A and B are shown apart, each in its own frame.
Chain A
Amino acid sequence: MNTKLLSLNEATRTVNSGSNKVTLLDKINLQVNEGEFISLMGPSGSGKSTLLNCIGMLDEFTGGGYTFLGEPVHSMKEKNRSKLYKEYIGFVFQAYHLIDELNVWENIETPLLYKNIKSSERKALVADMLDRFNIVGKKDLFPQQLSGGQQQLVGIARALIGKPKLILADEPTGNLNSTQSTEIMELFSQLNKEGVTIIQATHSEQNAVYGSRIINLLDGKIVEE
């Protein structure tokens, strides 16, 4: 199980703040194989979220190379990138970011809509997911009616529904209490065992150890692995 999922070659991200050029990520070199569980650590502002967003194609590197499943992301058109992204990547957020207007079922279903999957198939997939996460009873509730842990569960279910190869989680337990955190982390390691690659950004040493690999960032540079 040593297939290369993605690799970063001197990947850099800069932004212009007024007349100053600020480097958020500085020449990052990183290889991620399928089935890995990576924890990104580092203080606030060290570039964890930026790295996740760039890997997740929500943001772009401004320099260097980014290869995903052998395809050069840095030189891709938006359309193809979007296709790649829809197919292989799932996101989990600290603030869950569920759609308030949609209930649990519909929230989980949404990514499938953008993949143009038929209605009958969607139903089956969502039902499976609800079953698996033991939230069948909550399928008609709206996000506001759920606890934080439950919301994050829905968030993860939603990230998983498209059967992604890679899950990117930005402080997934940041808004949760310790019991809920443990549950979520257990779930991640379960998923990882099932073959999903996971990269999480976290402040917590406790959560970081769930990963098979810990990478420390400081001022946009990898300082320790």
Chain B
Amino acid sequence: MIKNYFKIAWRSLVKNKVYSFINLSGLTIGMTCFILIAFYIQFESSFDKHIKDSDRIYRIVQQQKGNDYKGTDYFALAPLPLTTAIKQDFPEVESITNLDIWDTLIVNDNVSFSERGLFTTMSFFDVFNTPILEGDGKEALRESNTILLTESLAKKIFGEAPSIGKTVIHNKELLTVSGIVADPPKNQHFTYSFITSLKKNSPYDNDLTDWVSNNYYGYLKLGEGQDYEVLEKKISSYEDITKPAYKANGFQFYPKFSLQPLEDIHLYSQMNMEIETNGDIKYIYFFALLAIIILVLASVNYMNLATSRSAHRTKEVGVFKTLGARKQNLVFQYLSESIILTLFSFVVAFLLVVLLLPEFNKLLGKNILFNFFANGWLLVGMLFIAVLVGCLSGLYPAVFLSKINPVAALKGVSFKNHNSKSLLRNTLVVGQFIAAITLITGSIIISQQLEFIQEKKLGFNKEHIMHVSYFNEEIYNKEGVIRDALLNHPNINKVSISNQLPINVTSQGPIDVWEDNIDKQQLYVYRTYVDYEFLDLFEMNIVEGRGFSKEIASDSTDAYMLNEAALKKLGWKTAVGKKFDRGTVIGVVEDFHLQTFNLSIEPLYIRMRRERWNKNNGQIILKVKNLNKIENTIAFIEKTIKSVAPLDIVEVEFMDDTYLKLYEEEERLSKAFNLFSLLALFIAGMGLFGLVSFQVFQRTKEIGVRKVLGSTVFDIVKLVSKEFLKLILVAFIVATPMAYVLMSKWLQDYIYRIEIEWWVFACAGFIAVSIALITVILQVFKAATANPINALKTE
């Protein structure tokens, strides 16, 4: 008996290939999206939870009220003496550690590796419990001339040969490998490929007693059953120390320390100086909503199509009934058919997920692994949803069909007086189109903002500019030699060796010395250090005074240039010749975007970098004449720099790319948005397809009669289309204000943003209407061109 159900179900599927394909593909796409997004959400919310006792680990962070830096006054850092004091004063703290992380070069046998180092203390292993695979763990950090490699770095440097006891060079220092640790998993909020002592950081000894220096991250593990909020209150007592210390250093603010649960860092923390860019709970909500919408759309659609399909099957029901089928036989038959379909969809979706996961990772810039056991609950849940969708979509036709009178069924009359049902169906289609129109609008606006970011005048020219980051004093020392050598190439026009690119200025500090600053106000000013060619190379406009000049010796020591924003904050009309900080202002540069569009243009000063202590890293910036055969130029640049600094890793990057990298999140969001709107449109189109095919089926006779009475194909298409266009119109009216509000909210994150224009909505509406019309016309055309005699011969 059950075999028979399956047989009929299967053959019915094969027979109606188009319908089955459309219906199954919609559900499969929906489930695939849902599973992929669920994987993503699971990955994002799994951060740091693999760490033993992760629920008892906290990061010490601080708020410096009034010290706004890049849009927030929270800092993820803690001063060293604070951790020492906490350890001494509060026995409920089990262990506490400091660490810092930065990219640096590891050299072995004259081969350099650009690696991310974790610089920390012995207690790191007490807090984080990182697995040690070989050799020493904690003990290795007792000395500062040892290093622990991660498994993968050991393999990278030494291959399969044992690495314990070997040496590598870091920062001109010989370090002995004394242990191998496991690679930190991808879902940890900081990664590293080697661990060595924090003491190597030159200001470490000073920092040990300096409450004002914030150079490290602090983490602590609380004893079992301790409340971190209680400890947080106790920690506030250290303000008695920090307040006077900050005041003594001339700051007009002081830090308030707090504890941040480790498990919250990845999704909830957007402080200054985060170790790595964290995720954002906002995106998790957004994607969760999207996943649910898509799954609901697809499921509803499936049900809609399946029920409309059942209209074609009343005759079959009549026959089964006359053959002695009872109600439960029929219910079971249609239910099993529907469940088989959804299970089939689920299996295909599952395979698609496995197949698409690498692409999906690329899209989101993540590293989600498919692990059957870790994702098991999700798959079981999904399976449950599949069966549920199968049941729900099978139940209505099953119950409805099994109830109809066999005599009526055999005549093919039924499905009349079902206005309530068609209202439900119409509501579903309207809902789908609301989602689709909102998503299209979102897509367009996000793309527009991204284009705006790329096209807007930044205040400097980033075209034809390449740059090489360096981490080596050698370059600094031989600056002149490198510049001359590079300029020898006919395609290289200008070369500047400076501190940083003008697109992401990070360094900032308080200034309280300037002319007329009688009441000792403090002003926070960003700063960047350049050479003589910098302003010229970027074609920045000087609106007052002059740029740095080789002819004037004092320029390299006490000349300052300010931007217009700084002038405004200072309340100055002119600046040239005025005292500022430890020198004199020689010129004013036109405002340029020194950070992303989320942040407004803040006060900035520019100085010559000669006198700066930071010699270890910077940028070699090159302006080329044209981009033809650029590979040759790149090869030349690499060769030239290597010849001066053989141990440096030279990576030539285009400034355009580097600039876009600042907007990676937006780029991803945009791609995801486009993809999902496309899918939503597709699914909505299918929902309409089902509805239209149902309607056309119902109206076969009417269409036949109308044709006999002389109506044209166009008349009939118009007749049927009109009703569906009304639905789209309703969807449009609801979706437009919704999309407007949502997208305005999104745009608010940008100080510099586009205006939402009316044509965006018109465009989204037009796309929705086009899709709807095409769907309707395809179906109606078939019915309208059919021979009316066939339509009338339904008896």
Contact = CB atoms under 8 A, between A and B. Distances in A.
Interface of A: 53, 56, 58-59, 82, 85-86, 91, 93, 97-102, 106, 110-111, 113-116, 158, 162
Contacts of A86: 324
A101 B8 contact: yes
B407 A114 contact: no
Contacts of A162: 324
20 contacts: A56-B322, A59-B407, A82-B324, A82-B326, A93-B322, A99-B316, A99-B320, A100-B15, A100-B316, A101-B8, A101-B11, A102-B8, A102-B11, A106-B4, A110-B4, A110-B323, A111-B323, A113-B4, A114-B323, A114-B329
Given A58-B406, A58-B407, A113-B4, A91 B322 contact: yes
Given A59-B405, A114-B325, A115-B324, 19 more contacts: A56-B322, A58-B321, A58-B405, A82-B324, A85-B324, A86-B324, A93-B322, A97-B315, A97-B318, A97-B410, A99-B320, A101-B8, A101-B11, A102-B11, A106-B4, A106-B7, A111-B323, A114-B329, A116-B1
Interface string B307-348: 000000001101111111110010000000000000000000
Interface in B1-53: 1, 4, 7-8, 11-12, 15
Nearest to A85: B324
Contacts of B1: 113, 116
A15 B546 CA distance: 101
B731 to A, nearest CB: 36
A216 to B, nearest CB: 22
A116 B326 CA distance: 12
Contacts of B322: 56, 58, 91, 93, 97
Contacts of A158: 323
A114 B316 contact: no
Interface in B50-75: none
B323 A53 contact: no
Interface in B380-437: 405-407, 410
Contacts of A115: 324
Nearest to A98: B319
Given A97-B319, A97-B410, A114-B329, A102 B7 contact: yes
Given A53-B407, A58-B407, A97-B410, A114 B12 contact: no
Contacts of B4: 106, 110, 113
Interface in B357-372: none
B505 to A, nearest CB: 71
A93 B316 CA distance: 13
A17 B18 CA distance: 39
A111 B329 CA distance: 12
A53 B407 CA distance: 7
Contacts of B319: 97-99
A176 to B, nearest CB: 17
A102 B6 CA distance: 11
Nearest to A161: B323
- Most chain B beta-carbon contacts within 10 A, residue among A59, A85, A98, A100: A100
A97 B407 CA distance: 12
A97 B409 CA distance: 11
A39 B1 CA distance: 36
Contacts of A116: 1
B323 A101 contact: no
A93 B8 CA distance: 21
Contacts of B329: 114
A180 to B, nearest CB: 20
Contacts of B15: 100-101
A59 B8 CA distance: 27
A110 B405 CA distance: 20
B793 to A, nearest CB: 11
A114 B315 contact: no
Nearest to B9: A101
Nearest to B8: A101
A106 B325 CA distance: 15
Contacts of B324: 82, 85-86, 111, 114-115, 162
- Most chain A beta-carbon contacts within 10 A, residue among B324, B325, B406: B324
A191 B84 CA distance: 105
A178 to B, nearest CB: 22
Contacts of A56: 322
Contacts of A97: 315, 318-319, 322, 410
B400 to A, nearest CB: 17
B227 to A, nearest CB: 66
Contacts of A110: 4, 320, 323
Contacts of A58: 321-322, 405-407
A99 B316 CA distance: 7
Contacts of B326: 82, 114
A27 B323 CA distance: 28
Given A111-B324, A114-B323, A114-B324, A99 B407 contact: no
B159 to A, nearest CB: 63
A85 B4 CA distance: 22
- Most chain B beta-carbon contacts within 10 A, residue among A86, A101, A158: A101
Given A53-B407, A58-B407, A93-B410, A99 B321 contact: no
A82 B322 CA distance: 10
Interface string B663-686: 000000000000000000000000
Nearest to B12: A101
Nearest to A56: B322
Nearest to A87: B324
Contacts of A114: 323-326, 329
Contacts of B11: 101-102
Nearest to A155: B319
Nearest to A142: B11
A86 B407 CA distance: 16
A100 B318 CA distance: 13
Contacts of A106: 4, 7
A110 B7 CA distance: 12
A101 B15 CA distance: 8
Contacts of A93: 322, 410
A114 B407 CA distance: 19
Contacts of B8: 99, 101-102
- Most chain B beta-carbon contacts within 10 A, residue among A56, A97, A116: A97
A160 to B, nearest CB: 12
A100 B322 CA distance: 15
A114 B410 CA distance: 19
Contacts of B406: 58
Contacts of A102: 7-8, 11
A99 B15 CA distance: 13
A102 B11 CA distance: 8
Contacts of B318: 97
Interface string B137-174: 00000000000000000000000000000000000000
Nearest to A82: B326
A99 B319 CA distance: 7
Nearest to A50: B407
A97 B323 CA distance: 10
A175 to B, nearest CB: 12
Nearest to B405: A59
Contacts of B7: 101-102, 106
Nearest to B322: A91
A13 to B, nearest CB: 11
B692 to A, nearest CB: 24
A96 B384 CA distance: 41
A218 B458 CA distance: 93
A51 B405 CA distance: 15
A86 B320 CA distance: 12
A109 to B, nearest CB: 8
A59 B15 CA distance: 31
Contacts of B325: 114
Contacts of A113: 1, 4
A214 B66 CA distance: 106
B452 to A, nearest CB: 57
A110 B1 CA distance: 9
A101 to B, nearest CB: 4
